[in-house]
């Protein structure tokens, strides 16, 4: 990508073992000279789960879009590492094609990554069974409930086995069984060596499963690191929950 006046070279793939995602965003926005986020700097390492946290309007969505290369005016750099520099994105709002069945959605994703047919069939059947959607694989997801549509997005993401996942509010609409399945799959992917950046408002769950946190407020990082480090940066007690740190910092 060639550097221009409005956009620095900001998204590149650099296969390596040390990190799967590095954000070094100086500023980014949708209009020139109107930055929405500034100084968003953090890393995700293999097997690491990082929680991206902040109040509504803090800049989390813009951060995710910038990481994905979807924001026009950017200064800084985003690096995707891992073995192949491959990443998967699970959006908060499901993106589905009206005239494609669940199985066809999965086949399309597999084809985009040139997945072997045998591997596709094995993984697809396993994931459908895991999320209890085997019986509806030839039906149209646009007619599914919100929770079932969210499962479809998770299945497609897990199907591809990327080096890093960017997951936006994954718990919205999931029932307790699906939430447990999702958390189990996340843990399995971490054991495989995938890194995960998860944006969520479910702070009690984030506190329990995340290795570290990036807290954003008013477009900038206000704290980052382990929970103990976030507590120190927030000026909270050594045993304070993430909920208290969130309120102290935002």
Architecture of domain 92-163+172-199: 3-Layer(aba) Sandwich (3.40)
Query: What confidence score (pLDDT) does residue 89 get?
Result: 93
Q: What is the CATH number of domain 11-86+200-249?
A: 3.40.50.300
Fold matches, 11-86+200-249 and 92-163+172-199: yes
Query: What confidence score (pLDDT) does residue 7 get?
Result: 52
Other CB atoms within 10 A of residue 220 CB:
17
Contact in structure between 154 and 182 (CB atoms under 8 Å): yes
Domain ranges for the chain: 11-86+200-249, 92-163+172-199
Q: Which structure tokens are listed for 8?
A: 């620095």
Q: Which structure tokens are listed for 55?
A: 């109040």
Its pTM stands at 0.91
Give buried/exposed letters for 11-28 (b at 16+ CB in 10 A, else e): beeeeeeebbbbbebbbb
Residuewise pLDDT in 10s, the chain (250 residues): 333 444 554 666 666 668 999 999 999 999 988 999 999 999 999 999 999 999 999 999 999 999 999 998 999 999 998 777 789 999 989 999 999 999 999 999 999 888 999 999 999 999 999 999 999 999 999 999 999 999 999 999 999 899 999 999 999 889 999 999 999 999 999 999 999 999 999 999 999 999 999 999 999 999 999 999 999 999 999 999 999 999 999 9
Q: Which structure tokens are listed for 244?
A: 């208290």
């Amino acid at each position: 990508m060639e550097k221009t006046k409005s956009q620095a070279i900001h998204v590149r793939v650099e296969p390596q073992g040390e990190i799967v995602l590095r954000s070094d965003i100086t500023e980014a926005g949708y209009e020139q000279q109107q930055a929405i986020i500034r100084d968003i700097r953090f890393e995700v390492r293999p097997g690491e789960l990082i929680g991206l946290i902040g109040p509504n309007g803090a800049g989390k969505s813009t951060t995710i879009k910038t990481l994905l290369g979807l924001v026009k005016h950017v200064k800084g750099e985003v690096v995707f590492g891992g073995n192949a520099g491959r990443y998967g994105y699970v959006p908060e709002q499901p993106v589905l094609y009206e005239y494609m069945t669940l199985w066809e959605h999965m086949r399309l994703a597999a084809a985009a990554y040139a997945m072997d047919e045998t591997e596709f069939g094995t993984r697809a059947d396993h994931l459908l069974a895991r999320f209890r959607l085997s019986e509806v694989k030839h039906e149209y997801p646009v007619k599914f409930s919100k929770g079932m549509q969210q499962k479809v997005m998770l299945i497609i993401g897990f199907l591809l086995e990327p080096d890093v996942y960017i997951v936006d509010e994954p718990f919205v609409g999931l029932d307790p069984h699906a939430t447990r399945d999702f958390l189990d799959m996340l843990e399995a992917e971490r054991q495989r060596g995938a890194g995960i950046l998860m944006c969520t408002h479910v702070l009690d769950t984030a506190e329990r499963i995340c290795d570290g946190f990036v807290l954003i407020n008013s477009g900038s990082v206000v704290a980052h690191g382990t929970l103990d480090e976030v507590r120190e940066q927030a000026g909270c007690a050594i045993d304070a929950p993430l909920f208290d740190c969130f309120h102290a910092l935002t």
